[in-house]
Structure 1
């Protein structure tokens, strides 16, 4: 359960000589599935079994249980099944042996890509509601009402409703949204498979935009409008 990339790899390299044949190593990082496949080849060459586990649930996992997406051999997964059943929301719910090594992190990658799109849609919808000031909408009440019977009800909506109950203005929150990498991997995989995924891709790009990565383009667009139409350009304070 370490950050994906060099941290996980160096840790595996350090503990591999300490393990015995048929021990099981579970990589619970949010890793790129192709990296996990390559990693497993080195681990299994040493006689160690490898499982990749995509884990969802965040800080609520301890209370609600974790969604677990695992990849690996049937024998290795069978040995760790008691742990999966204990960590999941229920012994028979919320975890899945997805397939061979790499499949767990692949499913988790797609899961997070979907999450990007859902979050973006909710944020845009509430921004539209907030922008219609003459209606004086109570966004917390709207969110709470949508939680029951609506087709958009979800855990993300539950969390949004809770946030809006505490603060609808959000003036103290910086409009910067980080991206952990899985949205990018999902978009890249969609391109490689020639599968259109515009919602996920645009949601990822909106996260980049929030980080200021479109600032230069926006400045250049403002200057273009000034050059061809004489439109005023706002100066930075």
Structure 2
């Protein structure tokens, strides 16, 4: 108390100019300190956590007041940029309509979007895209290798490659092997499938045995070969019939004769 009294007494005895001269440097230091506190990055995660919480409380109140005063709609989403920080994704919406927009436009809740945003921000665009591409390519490679392995096991010979185009002619006709329960609508090389989810479905189907190659018995092979022959014969007959109809139509146009075909 005595120290404060002595300082006050000296301060009161000083002229206005003396007061300015005595505090000029100190005021500059104080302003620099305030600016650094407001703008400088935090080196300690706990300090950043408290700063974020306090600032978000203030901003949230300001946005709520603004929305009530003007009727505007707001969405505030804040995520950490460093995995060492403690704050969780923060979402504040002015009303339910903003949340409904996320569901309609993005097909997910605001909280799920914030979680995905946090993963993006902490990893960076390069890391996210690169990791996804690498994982996808590796999954395609593993799936193709697994399919070829299963084919060789079923064929009981070292088949050189798997054929997805003309599978019947290149695989079944050559090695007496058929494929049961392909899990997708389209039969395609995993390398040509554009969805990671679909490639995972194919991989897991082969891994668990839901989809598998099967060696035909002698009787099954004979039935398959007869069916293939009959189908080819039917296609050939259809082609011949089409050619006959086209020939008659051409002759009709030339001779002016009308033919009635009974098929």
TM-score relative to the length of structure 2: 0.22
Query: Larger radius of gyration, structure 1 or 2?
Result: 2
| Greater relative contact order structure (CA < 8 Å, 6+ sep) | 1
More helix by share: 2
